[in-house]
Amino acid sequence: MMIIKEPKELQQELKRRRFEAAKQGRELTVGLVPTMGYLHEGHASLIRKARANDVVVLSIFVNPIQFGPNEDLDRYPRDAARDLALAEKECVDIVFMPEVQHMYPQPTKTKIQVEGLTSSLCGASRPGHFDGVTTVVAKLFHITKPDFAYFGMKDAQQVAVLSQMVADLNMDVQLVPCPIVRESDGMALSSRNVYLNEEQRSQALVLSASLKEAYELVQEQKSTTAAELKKLLTERIEAKPLAEIDYVEVLTFPELEPISEQTRLSDYEGDIIAALAVKFGSTRLIDNMLFQKKDVALHV
């Protein structure tokens, strides 16, 4: 496993490997798994998907420009040694692990903005967050030129925003959204779960539990409306004294547009997402459930 810190070095290394393969008549495919490190089983599931490619590149970079001034950049959990051990175990070929000065040798004057999709959900709570995400992911794409890039559906809005960017800018990469990975009790895996104390973690189970209940309700009662779904989720979460709701939304996916409160979920033709962001103490957790027409909903 190769560890690279310099963007130019990774760009050159992959160019060299592609050329060598082509000389032998093979088109090398590169799979990129962009992460902020502190890897867990969710990241591991992305890496395993990426193994369908000839070369798996795992990037580990806590991207400062996607954090707001009062967010958790400084205390975001890091453990390079453990991350590298996991990467090795999962057969990653190249770990790209730049420092901030490698990615931003000077403060970036260039930002990529996706309008509309970034104004709701986490975009509303975290102004500028998605500009930081799209900008760093575009950088990673330009450095790595992946054929496929793997993202977890826990950040469903991120998947929607990045898909729009890729389509709008004619980027030659295929995004692969991957299902949320959960603990056995339903808790969605997140590097930020480490912030929670025992009581907070116990109450935070309401996120996955209420989404599961919502999913089952829609399966059983075809007449369930968006408003009823939202009410159910809100009531369940509000019943937990440590929970402070940031948002509970039911939107179309991937457009992230509101649907009328009286719309029955079974009547709507496209996919619908129920998305939650809830604070426990100073820790903000997100989770979501996709209601897909083709019955491939990602079960809790």
Q: Which residues are annotated as part of the binding site for (R)-pantoate?
A: 66, 158
Contact 208, 182 (CB under 8 A): yes
Contact status: 170 vs its own copies (CB under 8 A):
yes
Which residues are documented as binding site for beta-alanine?
66
Contact status: 100 vs its own copies (CB under 8 A):
no
Contact status: 22 vs its own copies (CB under 8 A):
yes
Cα 7 to Cα 142: distance, rounded to the nearest angstrom: 9
Cα 76 to Cα 245: distance, rounded to the nearest angstrom: 21
Extract the tokens encoding 185: 């009790």
Shortest approach of its own copies to residue 146 CB, angstroms?
Answer: 13
3-state SS assignment for residue 147? coil
Residue type, 289: M
Binding mask 172-211 for its own copies (x = CB under 8 A): x---------------------------------------
Shortest approach of its own copies to residue 135 CB, angstroms?
Answer: 7
For the annotated catalytic residues, the residue numbers are 43
Which residues are within 8 A (CB) of 277 and not within 5 positions of it... i.e. 6 or more apart?
Answer: 121, 122, 125, 245, 246, 247, 284, 285, 286
Shortest approach of its own copies to residue 24 CB, angstroms?
Answer: 8
Place of tokens 């829609």: 218
Cα 37 to Cα 61: distance, rounded to the nearest angstrom: 7
Cα 152 to Cα 118: distance, rounded to the nearest angstrom: 18
Contact 99, 62 (CB under 8 A): no
According to DSSP, the residues that pair with 35 across neighbouring strands are 60
Q: Among 95, 165, 181, 211, which residue sits at the site for its own copies (rule: CB under 8 A)?
A: 165
Name the segment binding its own copies (CB under 8 A); options: 37-45, 86-94, 170-178, 262-270: 170-178
Extract the tokens encoding 188: 């969605």
Q: Among 109, 198, 241, 260, which residue sits at the site for its own copies (rule: CB under 8 A)?
A: 109
Binding mask 132-161 for its own copies (x = CB under 8 A): --xx--xx--xx-x----------------
Binding mask 111-130 for its own copies (x = CB under 8 A): xxxxxxx-------------
Name the segment binding its own copies (CB under 8 A); options: 79-87, 107-115, 202-210, 281-289: 107-115
3-state SS assignment for residue 96? strand
- Judged by the rule CB under 8 A, the positions of this chain that interact with its own copies are 7, 11, 18-19, 22-23, 25, 27, 108-117, 134-135, 138-139, 142-143, 145, 164-165, 168-172
